[in-house]
Every structure is written in C-alpha cells, then in structure tokens.
Structure 1
C-alpha cells in the first residue's frame, strides 16, 4: 500500500463499567493516506463501522485473491477516484458479538463510544478537518445499521453516510431466527445455561454452525430490549416455553427498525449531504426489501439518496465500498 496503517490504543469513558465487562480500552486501526507524515495539510475522515461478529481489526484481514477494505481505499486514492482521506476503523466488538452501535443497558454505550470518544481521540491525534462536512460514516450489515443510527442522532457530526445491506424490516431479517433460538434455549435450560455452554465450546473447540443464529438473536435483544435483572440483562421477544411472540417486547425492537425510525427522524436525515444505501438482490437475510422501503422513505421525505442493488448475497461484498466511497468522496469538504 502507498498509505500507512497504524494501530493506536484509546480509552473510552463511555464503555467504562459496561454490563458485559468488556474492555474500555480499545485498539483503533487508522489508515493514513500517502504523504500524511511528510506534510501539514488536514484531511477529511471516513469512519468504518464493523458488522456483527467483527471488530476494527476485521477490516485488515487477509483476503485471498482479493483486497481488504484499506487496500481498496488505498487503490482508490492512488487512482484519483477519491480524494485522500483518513480512514478510521473503531472496535465495536462485544462479548455478545456486537453492539449495533447503540446505547444499551445490556451492552454499553457504543453510540457514545463512537460519537464522543473515538471522534474526540481521532481529532486530537490526527490532522483531521474536524467538522461534519468533512466526515463520513460507512458500514455493512450491522455496521450499515450503525451508520443509519449516526444519521438519526448525529447529523451534527457526520454529513455523509453509507449504509450497505443494513439490518432493516425486522419482520423479514430477524423473525426467522427466533424459533431456532427458542428451541435452543428450551433445550439448554435458559439463556444463562445456553450462553455459558456456547462460550465454553467456542473456547475449547469451536462454535457450532447453528450457534450463530442464537447468539445473534441474543445480541439483538440486548441492543433493542435490554432489561436489568434478566439473564444477560435482556428481555426476549418470545416466550421461552411456547415460542409465542411477546408483542410488548417485539414492539420495543420495532422502534429500532430503520423502516420505522427513518420516517420519524426524517428531519435529521435531511441535514445529510450524502446518503448512499445498497443491498444485494440475493441477500440471505432478506434485507433487500427493508433497504427498498428505506429508499422510498428517504425519497418521500425529500432526502437525496443514492440507492443501488447489485447481483450478490450478504457476505463477501467488501468490493461495494469502492462504489460507496466514490459517491461520498465527491462530496467531502476538503478544506
């Protein structure tokens, strides 16, 4: 690469004392464009939010016969397709696999972690242009969901967002996994028993293929329906004995669905200078339809949106960042 990747350690006051006991000290991966060390100019910054089950370091993983996202953005800058910018890869990992980048009484304050602690650290440490017009937030899957969360709450911090295959229309993307979760919890004897066994087998050997649906459902419950005093401080949207959906809890999830909150917070999204959303036509989590609904809501609300579909599924689609960064790069303020 012509640019440089470096790793810093930062302390997050927002994550101190989080319910899962996850570390408040986090690694932060940063991409610095060519010429950064030798110059004095300031740069825009693009924040990359990891997907569920990932971390900040996931972005730099070796990808056989392909390129990592930092390698792709380095090539885009070298080709002149996007202006030089600083890439920031914060660590959103939790003991449940992810945070959805929200503040939760069951997980911790990960929205504050990004919006306050990471942004503050980056602006103090690097030569950024510390203003919303020069900042973008992007992500895929749960990271794309997090980008929408930032647009909802923090248009004063980010003027550009890209949500690629974001979790949306929860009836299609989450409901199919709830019966599987109910069966696993019933067999194990409850949330605590299942989670303890899951952690043990994951460390001693490896997780089972079917474990992903269950741990993901627990993570979503922790994000959307936290409840102190319950196992893992979360409330499930179904009865553990019968599997019957609990409308009062499920409705708490739906409040967090972008299909619901985008229209409600459309004024915040109107402040954005760039909104890019996409999804694969063969997305295995049925996210294509939620993304289409969001695109319609943006358009009906007067938000200029770039909405694209591509012929692929949900995973292995990091190449799509070349497209979203090209759109965002045209609009980043460079001074």
Structure 2
C-alpha cells in the first residue's frame, strides 16, 4: 500500500452503559493517503459501515486472492482514479450481531456514536475537512441501511452516501426469517435463548439456523425496543402461532427506507451525492427495495445514481470501486 492503516482505540461516550453491556471502547481503523502527514492540504473522509455480523476488523481481514477494501481504496488513489481521501472503518457490532447504526433503547446509541464520537476522533487524528460536504457514508447490507438511516437524520454531519444492497422493503427481506425465529424461540424467550446461544457458541460453535434468530432479535432491538420485555425488545409475531403482530410490524416498517424516504426528502435533497446499487440475484430480494427507494427519491427531486449488476449479496466488495469513483471526486477538499 502507498498509504497506510492505523488502528485507533476509541472511547465512545455515546455507548456508555448500553443495555447489552457491549464495550464502549471500540477499534477504529483509519486509512491515511500517501503524503498525509506532510501535506498542507486537508482531505475529505469516507466512513465505511460494515454489515450485520461485521466488525471493524473485518475490513482488514484477508480473503484468498482478493484485496481488502482498504487495499482497493489505496489502489484507486495510486492509479489516479480518485483523489486522495481519508477513510474510517468504525465498529458497530453488538451482542446480537449488529446495531443497524441506529439509536435504540434496547441496544445503544450507535447513530450518536458514529456522528459524534467517531467523527470527532477522525477529525482529531487526521488532516480532514470538518464539514458535511467533505464526508461520505458508504456501506453494504446493514451498513448500506445505516448509511441511509444516518444520512436522513444527520445531513448536518454527512453530505454524501452510497448504499450497496441495503436492507429495504422489509416485507421481502425480513419476513422469511420470522417463522424460523418463532420455531427456535418456542418454549423460551429472547433473553433465555440468547444466553444459551452465547454459552453454546463459546463452548462449540453457532449453528447455521442461529443466524435467522439473531437477525430477528437484532432487528427487533433496532426497530421495536420495549422496556421491560426480555432483552428489551418486542417481537413482531405471537409465540406459539407466529401470527404477525400488526402493531409491532408497523413499528418495523416505519424504519424501512422505502417508507421513511417520503418523509425524509428534504434531508436527502441536502446531500451532494446519492449512490444506490444492488445485485440482480440478491438472495435477500433487496433489489426490489432499492428500485422502490430510488423511484421515491427521484420523484422527490433527489438526484440518484442507481445501478444493478449481475451478482448476489455476498462477495461484492468490488462494487466499492464503482461507488468510490463516483463519490470521491465530489467530496469537498481543503
């Protein structure tokens, strides 16, 4: 690499005392472009948000025959495809597998952590342009969802976004997991199941069917928290029958980008760049949500670059090359 990576340890006040007992001290990987330390100029920042079950360290973990995302970014800078940028890779993992990068009474204040603690730490360490027009949110899957969700609330902090294969159209991407979770939770409750899962995972390993249960619990923590309930969340189905609880499911839908976009058009219109893509063979049917979201944004006067590609949900880090080539030249520099 011509640039370099630094690993910071971030003490995040926003995560102090979070309900799941997750650490408030988090790793933060930082990419500094070539010549950063001796430069007079200041650089824009791309904030990468990992997906569900992801961690900050996952961005630098090697896969056979493929570059990491920081290496991809570095190669784009070295080749002159994009101008030099700083990149930040924060950690949004929770005891349930992920935070969706939202503020929740059940899991913690992860939007505040990102918009306040992480941004402040990056601005303190790197030669940044401390302005929204110089900051981009980029993520895939739950990270893409986080980019959309945070951008609609914090256009005063982040001025550009790229959402790759983002969670959207919840009836297509989440409903199939509800009966699987209902079966696993039959005869128990979320807190008891989770405690047993953690014990089993430590002693042996997670089972393949655990993923659906954790997905439902994590999304319930993000979208339907309820104080006093096991794990502080309310499930969107009735135990025993798996019948949909309409009032709880409506709370989930209020967080769906397809549903919140019409209410957030003013915030999206403030953004300097919006990039949305999804694979045509996405296993979670996310292309339909992407199409619906883009249609709503465009009808609301938001300029959107929308692309589809011939692939599924996994192993698509090469798509960051495309979003970065679009976003990076549009970021303000100093």
TM-score bucket (shorter structure): over 0.9
Instruction: Give the equivalent residue in structure 2 for 1:272.
Output: 271
Instruction: Give the equivalent residue in structure 2 for 1:215.
Output: 214
Question: Which whole-Å CA distance do the structure 2 matches of 1:38 and 1:329 have between them?
Answer: 21
In the TM superposition, 1:84-95 aligns within 5 A as 84-95=84-95
In the TM superposition, 1:1-335 aligns within 5 A as 1-186=1-186, 189-335=188-334
Question: Which whole-Å CA distance do the structure 2 matches of 1:156 and 1:191 have between them?
Answer: 37
1:218-245 CA-to-partner distances (Å, cap 9, x unmatched) read: 0000000001111110000000111110
1:167-201 CA-to-partner distances (Å, cap 9, x unmatched) read: 000000000000000001005x2222221221111
What is the RMSD of the two structures over their aligned residues, measured on CA atoms?
0.8
**Cα distance, 1:330 vs. partner?**
2.1
Identify the range of structure 1 (103-112 vs 194-203) with the bigger mean alpha-carbon deviation: 194-203
1:29-59 CA-to-partner distances (Å, cap 9, x unmatched) read: 0000011123232111000001010111111
Question: Which whole-Å CA distance do the structure 2 matches of 1:232 and 1:309 have between them?
Answer: 38
Provide runs of 4+ in structure 1 moved above 3 Å: none
Aligned length: 334
SS of corresponding position for 2:5: strand
**Cα distance, 1:17 vs. partner?**
0.4
SS of corresponding position for 1:330: helix
Question: Which whole-Å CA distance do the structure 2 matches of 1:64 and 1:209 have between them?
Answer: 23
SS of corresponding position for 2:277: strand
Question: Which whole-Å CA distance do the structure 2 matches of 1:184 and 1:131 have between them?
Answer: 47
Question: Which whole-Å CA distance do the structure 1 matches of 2:245 and 2:26 have between them?
Answer: 36
Question: Which whole-Å CA distance do the structure 2 matches of 1:319 and 1:62 have between them?
Answer: 14
1:141-184 CA-to-partner distances (Å, cap 9, x unmatched) read: 00000000122101111111000000000000000000000001
Structure 2 length normalisation: TM-score? Answer: 0.99
SS of corresponding position for 1:9: strand
Structure 1: where are the runs of 5+ without partners? none
Question: Which whole-Å CA distance do the structure 1 matches of 2:39 and 2:268 have between them?
Answer: 35
Question: Which whole-Å CA distance do the structure 2 matches of 1:261 and 1:80 have between them?
Answer: 37
